[in-house]
Amino acid sequence: MASDPIRRPTCVATINGTKVPLLSFEVENNNHFAADTWDCSLALAGMPPGLDLSFWASQVPITVQIFAGLYGDPSTSLILGDADHVSINGVTGEIHLSGRDKTALFLEARTTEKFPDHSASDIVTQFATNHGLNAQVTPIQTRVGQRDQQEYAKLTCEQTEWSVLTYLAENAGFDLFVSGNTLYFQPPGASNAEPYVVRYVPSATGRMAYGTVVTLHCQRSLPLASDMTVKVISWNSMQGQTITAQAQGKKSGAGGGSPRTYTFREPGLKQDQAQQLAQQKLLEIAKQERVITWMEPANLTLTPRTQVRLQGTGTAWDQLYVINHIRRRMSFDSGFTMEVQATSGSPQSVSA
């Protein structure tokens, strides 16, 4: 019977396409409409020809791609992006780089372009093409401004391209992120996908707690465990009236007292749009009630869009969670580890 392969984590990077060895790295992938980030350390003495001190002193841009492997072959790309900062320790000869993934291209670019007859899908594809990226886009047929002029007006003022993309994604209920050289604009992943299981076995007499993780921290916000009401107030200039909507969430097991109220003001909404926003904000707030954070030996399969199931506590903590971020680190001192944070709420009923 063949034995399992021996875990032997390795890593490598490319600098403007040239492969270089790494001393250490940290990559954070997130799930909240923001850029993924990275930093890494290299030895100046180990750089190939062309990557000498003069290169680091003057080169723009410096494009970095970080790869890792668990069994000696660092072939899995963890992140691709340009460096924002470069520093060199003149005594030790260590180079430190940090930056973001290619989401930064949209965060740095501002636009005043008008989109009178484009769908959201057209705009996303156009922005990606302008930056030389691929676009994985789920088509939306409705044209911007077709629903109302207020929506069109929001996309004609000067703002970053990422703000435009985020608005379009939130309005469609879509996921939006960059991976490698591809911009993704699509519905969230199917909830019936197999969740990633974190198992915990509580301590008992004569032994310590253990599980599939090295550390596990569970946090709960009691204010968010209570009943709550979300109100949305909007002035619709087309109709010449104030629009109000609300959504209520009643938590199972919540104590008495008045529900907590959260108020949001958003201009130019119709009644159905205000109601949709109220329910969306209610769910966003409620799912922050429970936060779990754990550390374990890193793997290369977990992504921010993977659901997580905590098992074994025998409490209300045992449920499904949505990942906020994954932070993977590799160094000679600590090996290859990952820290994950995920959130969830208590069961609740939602009504208008």
Query: 310 near 198, Cβ under 8 Å?
Result: yes
Q: Which residues contact 148 (CB under 8 A, 6 or more apart)?
A: 238, 268, 270
Q: Extract the runs of DSSP E, i.e. beta strands, from 112-251.
A: 134-137, 159-160, 175-179, 182-186, 196-201, 210-211, 215-220, 228-236, 241-251
**Domain parsing of the chain, residue ranges:** 10-101, 105-186, 196-221+289-351, 227-284
Which option is the CATH number for 105-186: 3.55.50.30, 3.40.50.300, 3.30.830.10, 1.10.274.10? 3.55.50.30
Q: Which amino acid is at 308?
A: V
Phi and psi torsions of 146, nearest 5° = -70, -30
Q: Which amino acid is at 232?
A: V
pLDDT tens track, the chain, 352 positions: 455 678 899 999 999 999 999 999 999 999 989 999 999 999 999 899 999 999 999 999 999 999 999 998 999 999 999 999 999 999 999 999 999 999 999 999 998 777 767 888 999 999 999 999 999 999 987 666 544 445 545 555 678 999 999 988 988 889 999 999 999 999 987 555 789 999 988 776 655 566 789 999 999 998 888 888 999 998 877 777 898 999 988 876 655 567 889 999 988 788 888 898 888 888 888 888 999 999 999 999 999 999 999 999 889 899 999 999 999 999 998 899 999 999 998 766 566 6
Please indicate whether the domains covering 105-186 and 196-221+289-351 agree at the CATH topology level: no
The alpha carbon dihedral of 74, 78, 81, 83 has a sign of negative
Query: 350 near 248, Cβ under 8 Å?
Result: yes
Query: 262 near 285, Cβ under 8 Å?
Result: yes
Q: What is the rounded CA–CA span in Å between residue 325 and residue 322?
A: 9
pLDDT attached to residue 260? 87
User: Which position has the token pair 């499904």?
Assistant: 320
Question: Which candidate, 104, 81, 70, 63, places its Cα nearest to that of 27?
Answer: 81
CATH number of 10-101: 2.30.300.10
pLDDT attached to residue 1? 45
Residue 96's SS3 state is: strand
Tell me the CATH class for 196-221+289-351: mainly beta
The alpha carbon dihedral of 294, 300, 306, 311 has a sign of negative
Q: What is the rounded CA–CA span in Å between residue 273 and residue 145?
A: 14
Tokens of 273: 């749009």
